[in-house]
Amino acid sequence: MSTPEHASQSPDELASDLLTAQAWLAPEAFEGSLAGVRVLDLSRVLAGPLCAQMMADHGADVIKVEAPRGDETRLLGPPFVEPGQAAYFSALNRGKRGLSLDLSQSTDRAILEALLVQADVLIENFVPGTMAKWGLGYDEYLSQAFPKLIYCSISGFGATGPLANLPGYDAVLQAMCGLMSINGDPHSGPTRIGVPVVDQVTGYNAFGGIMMALFARNRTQQGQRVESTLFDSALSMLIPHAANWMTSGNTPALSGSAHPNIPTYNRFTVGDGTIFLGIVNEGQFNKFCKYIRREDLLTNPLFDSNASRMTNREALRTEMEAALKDFSRVTLCKELMAIGVAAGPVHSVPEAFEQPHTSAREMFVKRPDYQGVGIPIKLSKTPGKPGQRPPRLGEHNPTIIK
């Protein structure tokens, strides 16, 4: 492990020598729930940047530290918002200031350490061991130099176990952890879930871990390491499939859009498209059958309980779709919801964002300088706010570094 070349200087001396007076003054700070929390986001791609963006949305001052080549997602287009900034990058980096550093160089590592003097949180998703190689390992150095620091490490497999230190990507973990084995149907075979759900859950787990560590720090005055991995997150998502297997010994199989325990929780074809029905209990099934004028299903012994409906799910599906072909999806879903039966049209992405409820919930951010998805966590007294547009590479170097 290399030793920081500036070890003879105190952290305060470093900060005085290397940073401008405005280094930790965010230009658009607001009194969100995380106002005053200072975050160094060294992460790239999805899970770490998403976690840091969530913190920025709720008032944290976030500095995104990128290598000179930039976060890979800047180039994952088209589409591009502007040259060198793909829409993918814009989805994960609003509300941050941009700083470009080459952490393989001692001078730039010194700038990072100077920023750590006043930082509360550091988020990184390097291959485990990278920070230690630079003389910035948490256990070896940072925990002693900055005892109140919350250090969040995000990786594919973590720092322990047979797969430790290996690279990890969302779809690879979907495959390894069983998610693909239950997604898809016999025709498609095991299928990747269409959004990077493992990355996203890992980002949310990191966010929750950081919040718990900040809460604990209020009591103990000590920071700690938070670890969030794609492997752990992917396994944690196997509900109820893992519990079903642990109890029955039966290996979960491909089920398409169907639920493994509830036959009426599935996608169905109607007269002009496709809907998803969320019929979970007997009361909802009773209402549904009466609405489609098939009360006979309620007294049929093949369908008179969830267990019997599971045994005869394909026969039930045939009966339901024969009745549903006479309905239009919009009217059907509206009227079913009105009587307490959950149902929704299968929308395209544009249709999802064109819903009036999307606007009412402020989930579509449209500004001259930025478009993005809104904030899913709503707080009554300290609400979040979508921050400024994502930074260009190294945009704020002049206002942070002397």
Q: What DSSP letter does each residue of 347-396 carry, written as one string?
A: --HHHHHHSHHHHHTT-EEEETTEEEE--S---SSS-----SPPPPTTTT
The phi-psi region of residue 69 (left if phi > 0; otherwise alpha if psi is between -120 and 50; otherwise beta) is alpha
Active site residue 304: no
Residue type, 364: F
Which residue is associated with the tokens 């690879």?
Answer: 172
Q: Is the peptide bond before 162 cis (omega within 30 degrees of 0)?
A: no
Residue 233 host element (H or E):
helix 230-236
Q: HSE on the CB side for 174, CA within 13 Å?
A: 20
Could you tell me the CA-to-CA distances from 152 to 3, 167, 228, 390 in Å, in that order? 22, 17, 8, 22
Dihedral sign computed on CA atoms, order 63, 69, 72, 76: positive
Q: At what angle do helices 282-291 and 329-338 cross, to 10 degrees?
A: 130
> Which structure tokens are listed for 170?
């969302």
The arrangement of strands across the sheet holding 121-124 comes to: 96-100, 61-66, 38-41, 121-124, 150-155, 225-229
> Which amino acid appears at position 22 of this protein?
Q
Strands (E), 160-304: 225-229, 265-270, 273-278
Give the other-Cβ count within 10 Å of 168's Cβ. Answer: 23
Phi, psi torsion values for 370, nearest 5 degrees? -165, 140
Catalytic residue among 41, 108, 199, 232: 199
Query: Mind telling me the catalytic residues?
Result: 199
